[in-house]
Structure 1
Amino acid sequence: MPKVISNTSPILYLYRIGGIQWFSKLFDEVWVPEAVKNELRAGKIQGYDVPNPADYSWITIVNPKSMPSEWLALDLGIGEIAAMAGN
Structure 2
Amino acid sequence: MLLLAIFYLVIDVWKFQKWAFFFVVIGMNPITIYLANRIIGWDSANRFFFGGLAGLLPEAWAPFIMAIGYVTIGWVFLYILYKKKVFLKV
Q: Between Structure 1 and Structure 2, whose CA radius of gyration is higher?
A: 2
Task: Point out the structure with the larger strand share.
Answer: 1
**TM, length-normalised to structure 1:** 0.24
**TM, length-normalised to structure 2:** 0.24
Task: Point out the structure with the larger helix share.
Answer: 2
